[in-house]
Amino acid sequence: MSTNNTVSENHSTAVNHEHRDDAGRKMGMWLFLFTELLLFGGLFLVYSIYRFMNPADFSNGSHHLDVFMGALNTMVLITSSLTVALSITAIQKGNAKLALRMLAVTILLAIFFLVNKYFEWGHKIHYDLYPGTDLFKALPSGEGLFYVLYYFMTGLHMIHVIVGAVILVFMGKYISDGSINSSNYTLLENGGLYWHLVDLIWIFLFPLLYLIH
Amino acid sequence: MTNTLKHTDFYDNEGKPAWKAWLTTTDHKRIGLLYFYSLTVFFLVGVLLGLMMRFELISPGKDLVEAQTYNGLFTLHGVIMIFLFVIPGIPAVFGNLTLPLLLGARDVAFPKLNLLSWYLYIGGAVLALSTLLVGDGPPDTGWTFYAPYSVKTGTNVSMAVLAAFILGFSSILTGLNFLTTIHRMRCHGMTWFRMPLFAWALYATSWIQLLATPVVGITLLMIVVERWLGIGLFDPVLGGDPVLYQHLFWIYSHPAVYIMILPGMGVISEIIPTFSRRRIFGYKAIAYASLAIAFIGYFVWGHHMFTSGMSGPARIIFSILTFLVAIPSAIKVFNWLATMYNGSIDHKPPMLYALGFIFLFLVGGLSGLVVGALATDVHLHDTYFVVGHFHYVMFGGTGFAFFAALHYWFPKIFGKMYNLKHATRAFWLLFTGFNILYFPMLVVGIMGMPRRYYDYLPQFQVPNVISTIGSWITTAGLIYMIVVIVKGIRHGEKASSNPWNGLTLDWQTDSPPTKENFDAIPTVTERPYEYK
Ligand code: HEM
């Protein structure tokens, strides 16, 4: 086995409590992302089992989703992943102004995504297509399950978008007050990683819900 | 130890008011103690509920409580004991107290996150206990929240389930913290295979916490959503599949039983060599066995569902896999026995609890094989045999390991020593009471008495009376032990920094340790447990 060369020299200074371990911080973030994937993994599992049990109903259900809106949101999120990555590169190069601008674009894209989602859900709710209505109760049970999963999965994802956007706002604050800078940017990288996760999950949700018929 | 730094231990509040210094602390030892005291309170509440159940079961018919109250009792007892005591249990208390000491570090990797985990734990606990007081009464589903009953019952299931969700989050954060700590913060010279075995056990446990808990988290959320929106994720009337719920639940909850037992095994692996004055036998085998248990533990969840409607081949495969888990567990037991062989064994209280653990875990493990075998389980499923089995593993195993750890690290944490003679007597009382309480359950289960009823047929009375008497002896033992511990904390004699002559790093620093744990970060040059 490898000898332990990961202990940095910071540890040996006598009473230095607030040492910095960038690799450790990133490791923590990656582990957290694992748990997020598993959280959605449970939903993907339920989705695949119910899809297997009710293929026709699921196909009917997915025909009623708006592929255009979904595709638009996919583009938006992928672009936002790019801008957050650009923001990190900018701060690494010491350009805080550009980094802030890129973050702002990312957050705007997040808001765009949410507004779009609002109209998408609103449209369905307008037609009484949500759990509890008479229309919903009259649906074949498989189709009902499809919509339940649609609301559940996109809803949980939406919460993640909101959380991610709030995190990015804080990142912006830290960049402007200088605590994130060209020699200390792990926090921004971690925020970016979270944002990529939000993006990545959507990239799975989109085909599962909108595209497979 | 010689040093020139100022010498205050971690109890020093540094001028802050005590409540503030404790509630905003990021020191792993203080957080460990916060967990310790809160866990003890919840454990005692759980014991009280258990005592009430046992009292109700002293004779057939109604004695103390109504049937519905009894349903609430066993559910809350289960929820408290599982989610508030055994799952956080050893990692949250003794992992926090000792992991950085064992690794030669100053703290865990994310001290603030550590404090957040404690607050989440308390939040979840308060939510779980308040199901007693608000709404339509405590949940009555059993701690497993099986659908479709859990989505239909009018009792306070949503709150209990949300509590479990929050507690799960707390557990995930602790696991994440420990994993990063173990990867990043081992001191100079401490290679993976020079790590104390308790650290190895925590490492394996943390992976399970991290990888299994989210699945139950999402499953429990589905239950809540299903109840609130009246949709049919698991309710067969609305197209859902209740067996799917059981699968999802046990995909977490079976690995979770290894979250409970692995840290306990780690504690025992620390104590046995120290009190046998022998190098641990098969260090690597024990370390790998922890990982093997964690790994195989993922693939055995189906054995909880032998009677729920699974295909024949699936049941057989799950049964075989279940037997495989017994192998690494047995490896550990044999290694402990081999370590003791020819050693000079010192029957101090920590060692007694460790030996008690081995005995009780053996009974629990072997009865586990009985219910793990497909043919016998079909008969024993949902009988008191199962209740006896899991108390032997969880209380006799993890519970006793918890007490062992408490008696082992007591002088380190409190800097004092409890009364050894009384601690020994408390052990024997507890150990005796334990067997009188639970062995009859195994017997009455084989006779056919089902679990989760407040009433039973007259022919089951004798074992039930014995068991109830056992519950009183057990409680007496617990009270005795608590008195010894409290007296030790208050008036115990001052302990030296290494009263058991241990060789791991936790014993090479002051008792109680300073806030920084070590004056200078130590360097390790050999494996732990090199007793001559
Ligand atoms: C003096 C201590 C205890 C007593 C008297 C006691 C008694 C009982 C009894 C009588 C039941 C069966 C209820 C039934 O099926 O009708 C039960 C269930 C249970 N006990 Fe304990 N117990 C004690 C300690 C513990 C401990 C320490 C743990 C865990 C570490 C624990 C975990 C459980 C669990 C998980 C259940 C199953 C609840 C359910 O069916 O949902 N108990 N206990």
3-state secondary structure of B10: coil
Higher pLDDT, A19 or A193: A193
* pLDDT given at position B7: 62
Residue whose CA is at the smallest distance from ligand 1 atom 39: B142
* pLDDT given at position A19: 62
d(C-alpha B414, C-alpha B29), whole Å:
11
Domain B18-508 has CATH 1.20.210.10: yes
* pLDDT given at position B347: 93
Regarding the beta carbon of B400 and ligand 1, being less than 6 Å apart is answered no
d(C-alpha B202, C-alpha B210), whole Å:
12
CB burial class (10 A; 0-12, 13-18, 19+) of residue B288?
A: middle
* pLDDT given at position B109: 94
Amino acid at the residue B32: G
Please tell me which of the candidates B176, B185, B191 has its beta carbon nearest to residue A32.
Answer: B176
d(C-alpha A47, C-alpha A43), whole Å:
6
Distance from CA of A97 to the nearest CA of B (A): 30
Split at pLDDT 50, 70, 90, the class of A9 is very low
* pLDDT given at position A1: 32
Residue whose CA is at the smallest distance from ligand 1 atom 21: B50
What are the CA-CA distances from residue A44 to residues A154, B195, B302, B410 (Å)?
Answer: 12, 38, 20, 46
Task: Name residue A184's beta-bridge partners.
Answer: A181
d(C-alpha A210, C-alpha A66), whole Å:
7
Residue B50 C-alpha to ligand 1 middle, in angstroms? 6
Q: Can you read off the two tokens belonging to residue B150?
A: 């859990």
Which atom in ligand 1 lies closest to the alpha carbon of residue B86?
30
What pLDDT digit, counting tens, does each position of B482-523 carry? 999 999 999 999 999 999 999 999 999 988 999 889 988 899
Show Cβ contacts of residue A100 under 8 Å, excluding neighbours closer than 6 positions: A87, A172, A175, A176
* pLDDT given at position A100: 95
Check if the beta carbon of residue B167 is closer than 8 Å to that of residue B124.
yes
Regarding the beta carbon of B283 and ligand 1, being less than 6 Å apart is answered no
Residue whose CA is at the smallest distance from ligand 1 atom 43: B50
What pLDDT digit, counting tens, does each position of A44-55 carry? 999 999 999 999
Regarding the beta carbon of B81 and ligand 1, being less than 6 Å apart is answered yes
Which atom in ligand 1 lies closest to the alpha carbon of residue B260?
30
Regarding the beta carbon of B78 and ligand 1, being less than 6 Å apart is answered yes
Answer whether residue A13 shows pLDDT above 60. no
Residue for token pair 């912006």: A172
> Is 0.90 topped by the overall pTM?
yes
Check if the beta carbon of residue A145 is closer than 8 Å to that of residue A43.
no
Regarding the beta carbon of B414 and ligand 1, being less than 6 Å apart is answered no
Q: Which of B30, B28, B26 is nearest to B11 (CA)?
A: B30
What pLDDT digit, counting tens, does each position of A129-144 carry? 888 788 888 888 888 8
Residue B364 C-alpha to ligand 1 middle, in angstroms? 14
Contact B184 A24 (CB under 8 A): yes
Judged by CB atoms within 8 Å, which residues 102-141 of A form the interface with B? 131-132, 141
* pLDDT given at position A104: 96
Residue B77 C-alpha to ligand 1 middle, in angstroms? 6
Query: How many Cβ pairs closer than 8 A exist between chain A and B?
Result: 120
Average model confidence (pLDDT) for chain B? Answer: 92
What pLDDT digit, counting tens, does each position of A73-98 carry? 999 999 999 999 999 999 999 999 99
Q: pLDDT under 50 in chain B at which residues?
A: 1-5
3-state DSSP of A157-196: HHHHHHHHHHHHHHHHHHHHCCCCECCECHHHHHHHHHHH
Regarding the beta carbon of B116 and ligand 1, being less than 6 Å apart is answered no
Write out the DSSP string of B227-289: HHHT--SS-GGGT--HHHHHHHHHHHHHHHHHHHHHHHHHHHHHHHHHHHTSPPTTHHHHHHH
All structural domains of chain A, each given as residue ranges with its CATH number in brackets, are 35-211 (1.20.120.80)
